[in-house]
C-alpha cells in the first residue's frame, strides 16, 4: 500500500485495515438532513471513503446556517443545501458517488428514498421525520443512528432493528408539533453538532465494519 494512498492513515489502523476499507468502499449511507449534523457527518464519511452517499434536504442555505453548518460558505446562500453539499463533498473526494435529493422526507417518499442502503444517519431537527426513518429501518432491517442537538448539549443512539430498542420503544407517541424546543428558539453552540455528528460517523464505521458498537443513549453537554 503506497504511503500516499488517500486512506493510508486509516488503513494502518488495526480496526480498519485493507479489508475494512474495502467494506467502507462498498457501503451505502443515507444522511437525512444537511444541516449542522448532516454536513459534519457527511464530511467525515466522505473523507473516510464511504463511496456511496445520499444526502436529503429540502431547504436552502441561509446566513444564520453558516455559524454551524460546516462546508457552506457565503456564496452558497440561497441555494439548495443538498445540491451544494454534494458539490463540496465531490471536491473533497471525487471517488465517492453522491446523490443529492432536494425534497422533504414524507410518508409518500420515505420508502423510495430510504429502503436500499446499509445505514441511515439522522441529521433532522424533528421527531416526525425520525419516526419515518424508524419505520423504514424496522421494516427493511436497516440500522439508523438517532441524533439531536440543542443549546450546549446533544445526544445520539444507535438503533439496530430487532437488536436494540428503537425510537418507538423510547417514545411511543409522537410529541405535539412545536412542543419541543428548537435551535431557532433556544439556540445552539456550533461545536456540539460537530461532536455529536462525529460520534455518529464513528459509530457508522463500527456498525459497517461489524465491530462492537455503542448500545447506550450517549448524552454530552459540552
Ligand atoms: Zn421499538
| SS3 track for 106-168 | CCCCHHHHHCCCCEEEECCCCHHHHHHHHHHHHHHCCCEEEEEEEECEEEEEEECCCCCCCHH
- The answer to whether residue 9 sits within a structural domain is no
Residues with a beta carbon under 5 angstroms from ion ligand 1: 166, 168-169
Please tell me which residue, 65 or 175, carries the higher pLDDT value.
Answer: 65
pLDDT the model gives residue 46: 98
Would you say residue 1 lies in a domain?
A: no
pLDDT in tens, 65-103: 999 999 999 999 999 999 999 999 999 999 999 999 999
Q: 75 C-alpha vs ligand 1 centroid, how far in Å?
A: 43
156: in domain: yes
CATH of the domain at 69: 3.40.50.720
**Residue 183 maps to a domain:** yes
Query: What is the distance in A from the centroid of ligand 1 to the CA of 132?
Result: 13
Q: How far is the CA of 186 from the centre of ligand 1 (A)?
A: 29
Q: Which three three-digit cell numbers place residue 163?
A: 437488536
- What is the domain count for the chain? 1
pLDDT of residue 100: 98
Residues 6+ apart with CB under 8 A from 163: none
5 within domain boundaries:
no
Domain that holds residue 34: 16-221
6, part of any domain: no
- 135 domain-assigned: yes
Model confidence at 10: pLDDT above 70: yes
CA 165 to centroid of ligand 1, rounded, Å? 5
In a domain, 181, yes or no: yes
Amino acid at each position: 500500500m503506497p504511503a500516499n494512498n488517500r486512506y493510508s492513515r486509516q488503513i494502518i489502523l488495526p480496526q480498519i485495515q485493507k479489508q475494512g476499507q474495502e467494506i467502507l468502499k462498498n457501503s451505502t449511507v443515507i444522511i437525512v438532513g444537511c444541516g449542522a449534523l448532516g454536513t459534519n457527518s457527511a464530511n467525515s464519511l466522505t473523507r473516510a471513503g464511504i463511496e456511496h452517499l445520499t444526502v436529503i434536504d429540502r431547504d436552502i442555505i441561509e446566513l444564520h446556517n453558516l455559524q454551524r453548518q460546516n462546508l457552506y460558505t457565503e456564496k452558497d446562500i440561497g441555494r439548495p443545501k443538498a445540491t451544494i453539499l454534494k458539490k463540496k463533498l465531490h471536491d473533497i473526494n471525487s471517488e465517492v458517488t453522491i446523490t443529492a435529493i432536494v425534497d422533504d422526507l414524507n410518508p409518500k417518499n420515505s420508502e423510495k428514498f430510504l429502503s436500499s442502503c446499509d445505514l441511515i444517519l439522522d441529521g433532522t431537527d424533528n421527531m416526525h421525520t425520525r419516526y419515518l426513518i424508524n419505520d423504514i429501518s424496522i421494516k427493511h432491517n436497516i440500522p439508523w443512528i438517532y441524533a439531536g442537538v440543542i443549546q450546549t448539549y446533544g445526544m445520539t443512539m444507535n438503533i439496530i432493528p430487532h437488536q436494540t430498542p428503537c425510537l418507538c420503544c423510547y417514545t411511543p407517541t409522537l410529541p405535539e408539533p412545536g412542543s419541543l424546543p428548537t435551535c431557532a428558539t433556544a439556540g445552539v453552540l456550533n461545536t456540539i453538532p460537530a461532536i455529536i455528528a462525529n460520534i455518529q460517523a464513528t459509530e457508522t464505521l463500527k456498525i459497517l465494519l461489524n465491530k462492537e458498537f455503542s448500545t447506550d443513549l450517549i448524552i454530552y453537554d459540552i
